[in-house]
Structure 1
Amino acid sequence: MRQLAGLDAGFLYLETPEMPMHVGALHVLELPAGFQGRFVDLLRAHIAARLPHLPALRRRLASVPLDLFNPAWVAAEPDLAQHIVAIELPPGSAMRALQDAVGRLHGQLLDRERPLWKFHVFENLAPGNEGQRYVALYTQLHHAAVDGQAAVALASVILDLSPEPRELPAKPARAARTPLGPVGLLRGALAHQWQQTMKLARALPGSVGTLSQLASQSAGEALSALAGRWRGEASGAGSSDLLAPRMRFNQSISAARSFASLSLPLAGLNEARKRHGASLNDAVLMVCGSALRRLLLELGELPKKPLIAAVPISLREAGDTRASNQVSMTRVSLATHIADPRRRLAQLLQASAAMKQGMGAIKDLMPEDFPSPGLPWLLAAAAKLYGRAHLAERVPPLVNLVISNVPGPAMPLYLAGARMLTNAPASIVVHGIALNITVQSYNGMLEVGLMACAEVLPDTQALAAHLQAAYDEFLALKPVAARPHRPVAQGTGN
């Protein structure tokens, strides 16, 4: 057994019928020429061959008696007929039908009695202009098991670089283990709690020093911001405002989901961002902010204050492929209150730089694990109360939405011989944050997945159209021209 770390278990405690806590992606796959049979059967055989190298797919949850501590992962072989299923769409279905199906499925909870994943194979897609045959795959992986980077590592085992699946080295057979009873689970949990308590105690002295330094720095920044307001300076990227403007995304949600996706060429975005001295993440934030501004203007709902995005930050060290969550969250202003795109970009770059500077100081303060006595009761009850009492409408919002940018593979990949054409992420929305925009690079494209509560934003397709327009606007945006140098006239002096 392996007890769940605190960050991983948190996704279990926060899960309610209205807030499923799984992530996934929608992939369109081109079948090999002359393919016969059903792709779902081929995929089951492919995953069965790779399972020895996929421990995250071969475990299920086991609760500690009385839910005193975090649950544990225990070995469990998945029934692939239950975990990889076929869905027949109406003949000739196109991308819109796929996206609508993902929206319906994304609001359904995974079965906690089984390993926490499921693959859905969509059949009956419309053929290509030259007769190409397609299927699609929607994957569900519980966030308690993986974060974005861990999902990429998982995909590196499942996917191949050529249509011919590679042979993986044989894994030694595992000795059969006797299932742990309640006493064994409790004993293991107590030992884990002791280890985490001692680890936290050893890290505490250094954390206190860093926190003191950050507190002094934050106080200075707050005083500078206050002085700026006295001078009449506008609230902008470096503002210390703690609250986001209240808007439609900041309310309680239902289990209904609306999903849309699009693919944007990465080369053009990279060329444009370099002209402005922006990172790829800065460019993604700029395009998303511009699209949101367009959407809210269209709805007549653009707030006077800038929207604030929650931005996940990976804490994963290079080469770390563990299937666990190693991520934190920070905030950044999208400067949506500024009409001029060049001024908006300047404000956003300033906000992004401040965010990166702050995250560099506190990364080491964010533990992946911590003692958990009582947390299963406390957090699960709090999550249910938050939704039932509609506290999202009463609590001032800290952020308006989530924007996540996950690096992905730069080359084409294949699944069981089928070429993967798209890789659109499908992520999580929660009470008070009803929109999630997740971006992942793949094979020269920026794959964008838009997930929203369908009762808050029924038409994510409209936002996808605004994203395309905002992308085109960013590519055409000219840098602010430097002022020409004017030589000082040589006078005779007096």
Structure 2
Amino acid sequence: MRAMDRLSGLDASFLYLETPAQLMHVCAVMVLDPSTMSEPYSFARLRDDIDDAVRDVPEFTRKLRRVPLGLDHPVWVRDKGFDIEHHVHRLALPTPGGYAELAELTAHLAGQPLDRSRPLWEMWAIEGYDDGERDGLVALFTKMHHATVDGVSGANLVSHLCSLEPGAPPMGAGQDHGGFGREPSRPELLGRAVVSTATRRPLTGVKLLAPTGKGITRTIDRARRGTAMAAPLTAPRTSFNGTITGHRAIALADLSLEEVRRVKNATGTTVNDVVLTVAGGALRSYLEDRDELPDSSLLATVPVSVREESRRSGGANKVSALFTRLGTDLEDPLERLEEMSRSNRNAKDHHQAISADSLQDWAEFAAPRTFGLAVRAYAGLRLAEKHPVVHNLVISNVPGPPVPLYVSGAQIRALYPLGPVFHGAGLNITVMSNNGRVHVGVIACRESLPDVDGLAQRFPAELSALAAAVTGRSLAVVADPERADAD
């Protein structure tokens, strides 16, 4: 049994960042085909199968316990009253039960906060979905707080629900999940918090000063040589770069993974280069049609997993971030891909020169009360509209399963991931590959970007335009075989 499970500073930061408008959970729309099930679909069976799969997994059955006086980050403790009925719910999709109804319903669910008195996740089985090819589908809408998962760990948690064959047990079955942390007493929590505040934090701060100073010096040098990643606070302002509300809008799109790879291989770029280029083209087209296209390129924050490089053993979130320009100022898609490939190489090299744990290390200084008050003041004073734009949006690219997966015997037809949106950046685009397809999940503040579907549906057309440009010119953007083989 593990000792007390204290949240890492980065995990806890997602709790402190949360307000009624800025919700810090990650979501997904998982479209299930019940025709592959050995028995006719029933919600009760689906709920019982999920219960069996997650009951011994700490990430699904632990809850928060706050430290007295907010002196330290919260701890995870086992929910002794865990009840699957508090977490898995059932809804019927309104008539006619198509894409528009699904998008509206999931957007409403995404705008509701999670109950912090229980484990921080929910699932909604939305029955009666018709995706245009098949009716009678079930859309499983999932929500899990960012304090519990990042992109990679979230994808790994899916294995606890999914199997490789309809009748097989979930891939996570039988794994050693490490047990649950011992629940500490109130005096113990207070004592540990006092010791941490008095000793560890000051020492950690001193240790961080030298490497941080070196990192700043190297960044200045890279900027002089033109090899630094794009800088924050240099983004142009758009209609979705202001103070957000708690309302959400969701849109979904699909791309061919084969076509993405064909472009990648023909140009010597990467899947990520192609995805970001397509996103840049979709945003350019969307803003141009609304007479809102800035002269300079939009700037995206791209989360990067540092799970392999991190020296830290604890914490759910092991991420860093890089900034990249999306080439929205470039009309030619091939020219945009060329610029994207070059800037991504610089950004990757720059990012690798920074400690993998730097974001986690600095996040340890996030004081619960101070951080929370600062976030609320920032939103209340609408400061996101008064200083230079830090970044325009967040874009994530998460590798998914290359083979069919099943939940309770039902095949997953599509898996659309959805990340959080922030004050100052009310748009999030998350992309995941799945069994030969690329699923695009777009979520935004409804008031900031009301026609979110008008953006999402441009992705397939932009990929086709890029593929046509590559075929027409027969031109390799980057003569680098190693990048051509990379995903």
Shift of 1:212: 4.8
3-state SS of 2:342 partner: helix
Q: Where does 1:396-435 land on structure 2 (aligned, <5 Å)?
A: 396-435=388-427
2:256 counterpart of 1:265: yes
User: Do the aligned residues in 2 keep the contact of 1:436 with 1:451 (CA within 8 Å)?
Assistant: yes
Higher mean alpha-carbon deviation, 251-260 vs 216-225, is at: 216-225
Residue 48 (structure 1) aligns with: 51
Q: Where does 1:375-394 land on structure 2 (aligned, <5 Å)?
A: 375-394=367-386
User: Do the aligned residues in 2 keep the contact of 1:53 with 1:171 (CA within 8 Å)?
Assistant: no
| Alignment equivalent of 2:110, drawn from 106, 110, 120 | 106
CA displacement, residues 387-433 of structure 1 (integer Å, 9 cap, x when unaligned): 11111100101211111111111111000111110000111001000
Q: Where does 1:56-135 land on structure 2 (aligned, <5 Å)?
A: 56-77=59-80, 78-126=82-130, 133-135=136-138
Letter in 2 for 1:155: V
Shift of 1:289: 0.2
| Alignment equivalent of 2:240, drawn from 249, 272, 289 | 249
Shift of 1:44: 1.9
Shift of 1:219: 2.9
Q: C-alpha separation between the residues in 2 aligned to 1:175 and 1:334?
A: 43
CA displacement, residues 280-339 of structure 1 (integer Å, 9 cap, x when unaligned): 111111000000000011000110111111111111118999770001111101121122
Residue 452 (structure 2) aligns with: 460
User: Do the aligned residues in 1 keep the contact of 2:8 with 2:314 (CA within 8 Å)?
Assistant: no
Residue 266 (structure 2) aligns with: 275
Q: C-alpha separation between the residues in 2 aligned to 1:127 and 1:39?
A: 20
Q: Where does 1:183-222 land on structure 2 (aligned, <5 Å)?
A: 183-190=187-194, 196-197=200-201, 200=204, 204=208, 208=210, 210-222=211-223
Residue 300 (structure 2) aligns with: 309
3-state SS of 2:350 partner: helix
3-state SS of 1:446 partner: strand
| Alignment equivalent of 1:327, drawn from 309, 319, 323 | 319
Letter in 2 for 1:99: A
Shift of 1:258: 0.5
Letter in 1 for 2:435: N
3-state SS of 2:35 partner: coil
2:207 counterpart of 1:169: no
Q: C-alpha separation between the residues in 2 aligned to 1:40 and 1:290?
A: 41
Q: C-alpha separation between the residues in 2 aligned to 1:173 and 1:438?
A: 30
Name the TM-score, length of structure 2 as normaliser. 0.88
Shift of 1:213: 4.5
Q: C-alpha separation between the residues in 2 aligned to 1:445 and 1:216?
A: 42
Q: C-alpha separation between the residues in 1 aligned to 2:177 and 2:317?
A: 27
Q: C-alpha separation between the residues in 2 aligned to 1:422 and 1:46?
A: 20
Residue 479 (structure 2) aligns with: none
Residue 20 (structure 1) aligns with: 23
Shift of 1:32: 3.2
CA displacement, residues 343-365 of structure 1 (integer Å, 9 cap, x when unaligned): 22222222111100110100335
User: Do the aligned residues in 2 keep the contact of 1:222 with 1:240 (CA within 8 Å)?
Assistant: no
User: Do the aligned residues in 2 keep the contact of 1:238 with 1:350 (CA within 8 Å)?
Assistant: no
Shift of 1:221: 4.0
Q: C-alpha separation between the residues in 2 aligned to 1:334 and 1:128?
A: 32
CA displacement, residues 100-137 of structure 1 (integer Å, 9 cap, x when unaligned): 1111111110000011000001012238767x631110
3-state SS of 1:387 partner: helix
Q: C-alpha separation between the residues in 1 aligned to 2:399 and 2:67?
A: 36
Q: 1:186 to 1:27 in 2, by over 3 A?
A: same
| Structure of higher CA gyration radius | 1
User: Do the aligned residues in 1 keep the contact of 2:149 with 2:316 (CA within 8 Å)?
Assistant: yes
Letter in 1 for 2:160: V
User: Do the aligned residues in 1 keep the contact of 2:249 with 2:450 (CA within 8 Å)?
Assistant: yes
Shift of 1:174: 7.0
Q: 1:197 to 1:406 in 2, by over 3 A?
A: same
What's the RMSD between the two structures over aligned residues? Answer: 3.0
User: Do the aligned residues in 1 keep the contact of 2:11 with 2:315 (CA within 8 Å)?
Assistant: no
Gaps of 5+ in 2: 477-487
3-state SS of 2:320 partner: strand
Q: C-alpha separation between the residues in 1 aligned to 2:230 and 2:314?
A: 37
Residue 351 (structure 1) aligns with: 343
User: Do the aligned residues in 1 keep the contact of 2:201 with 2:365 (CA within 8 Å)?
Assistant: no
Higher mean alpha-carbon deviation, 339-348 vs 320-329, is at: 320-329
Shift of 1:460: 1.1
Letter in 1 for 2:327: A
2:290 counterpart of 1:286: no
Letter in 1 for 2:376: K
User: Do the aligned residues in 2 keep the contact of 1:61 with 1:113 (CA within 8 Å)?
Assistant: yes
Identity %: 35
User: Do the aligned residues in 2 keep the contact of 1:103 with 1:258 (CA within 8 Å)?
Assistant: yes
Residue 185 (structure 2) aligns with: 181
Residue 483 (structure 2) aligns with: none
Higher mean alpha-carbon deviation, 166-175 vs 363-372, is at: 166-175
Shift of 1:156: 1.1
User: Do the aligned residues in 2 keep the contact of 1:107 with 1:255 (CA within 8 Å)?
Assistant: yes
Higher mean alpha-carbon deviation, 121-130 vs 98-107, is at: 121-130
Shift of 1:55: 1.0
3-state SS of 1:364 partner: coil
3-state SS of 2:26 partner: strand
Gaps of 5+ in 1: 226-235, 483-494
Residue 232 (structure 1) aligns with: none
Letter in 2 for 1:302: L
Q: C-alpha separation between the residues in 2 aligned to 1:345 and 1:29?
A: 34
Higher mean alpha-carbon deviation, 312-321 vs 331-340, is at: 312-321
